Structure 1
Amino acid sequence: MTADPRGALADLVAAFERHLEASASKRGEDDPTVIASYDDLADAFASYDDALLQAYGEMTPLDIYDGDDEDDDEELDDHSDEDGDGAVYSGLDDADYDDDTDDDDEADDRR
C-alpha cells in the first residue's frame, strides 16, 4: 500500500494543532488530553515520515523522543556547545553540519 504524503502531511498539521490546543488548556501535569494529543502527534509524524519514504525515498531529519533512552541524554551532553558558540547540534558531527554563511554573503553581494 502506498500512502499519500500530502494526506499524511495534512493529518500531521492537524495533530500539531490539536496538541497546541490541548497544551494551552491543560489541567495539571498529567492531563490525559495532552497525553493523548502527544501520542496522536507522534503517530501522525511517523505516518508522514513513512509516506514520504514510500513515495519519494526521503525522510525528515527528525526523530520521535520516547523518553526511555538514557543514551540520548548522554549524547546531548557530549554534543552541547562543543565549540563554545552557544549552539547545540544534537546528534550531528561538525562534518554533518552545513554552514551556509558563505552562500548568504554571496547573496548579500548581489543585492
Structure 2
Amino acid sequence: MTSDPRAALENLVAALQEHLAASAERRGDQDPRVEAAYIAVADTYEAYEAALYAAYDEVTPFELYDDVEDAREDDDVDDVDEDDLDLYGEEEDDHGITIDTNP
C-alpha cells in the first residue's frame, strides 16, 4: 500500500480500467476475471481513501458494502417516499439508483 494519495489514485484508476475491460469481455455470470477486478477496485479504493486521509485528513463520499444485505440493512424502509415507488416494487434511492423492494 502506498501512502502517496496520487500514486494510490493512479492504482485505483488502473483497477477501474481493468474492471471495465473485464466486464466488457465477461464470460458468464461468475467470470473469475471480473470477480478479481471487482475485488481489486475495492482494495485499491480503500488504499486510496486511507492515503487521502493520512495526507489531507479527507475522505471520499463513497461507501463500500460487503454484500447486498449490508446495503439493504442501511436503507431505512420506514422512510420510503411514495413518489419513488413504481408498480413493479422498485424504489429509487436519493442518488437515483433503482432498488428492488420485492423479496
Q: Which TM bucket (shorter chain)?
A: 0.7 to 0.9
Q: Which structure shows the higher strand fraction? A: 2
Q: Determine whether 1:84 maps to 2:89.
A: no
Matching of residues 1-111 of structure 1 within 5 Å: 3-67=3-67, 70-76=69-75, 78=77, 82=81, 84=83, 88-89=93-94
What count of residue pairs does the alignment treat as equivalent? 89
Conserved 8 A contact 1:42-1:64:
yes
Conserved 8 A contact 2:22-2:37:
yes
Return the alpha-carbon distance in structure 1 between the equivalents of residues 71 and 22 of structure 2: 27
Indicate the RMSD between aligned Cα atoms, in angstroms.
2.7
Query: Percent sequence identity over matched residues?
Result: 45
Return the alpha-carbon distance in structure 2 between the equivalents of residues 30 and 44 of structure 1: 21
| CA positional deviation for 1:80 | 7.0
Conserved 8 A contact 2:2-2:8:
no
Change (3 A) 1:19 1:71: closer
What runs of 5+ residues in structure 1 fail to find an aligned partner? 91-111
* Higher Rg of the two aligned structures: 1
Return the alpha-carbon distance in structure 2 between the equivalents of residues 19 and 9 of structure 1: 15
What runs of 5+ residues in structure 2 fail to find an aligned partner? 86-91, 96-103
Conserved 8 A contact 2:2-2:47:
no
Change (3 A) 1:71 1:25: closer
Superposition TM-score, scaled by structure 1 size: 0.68
Superposition TM-score, scaled by structure 2 size: 0.72
Return the alpha-carbon distance in structure 1 between the equivalents of residues 2 and 28 of structure 2: 40
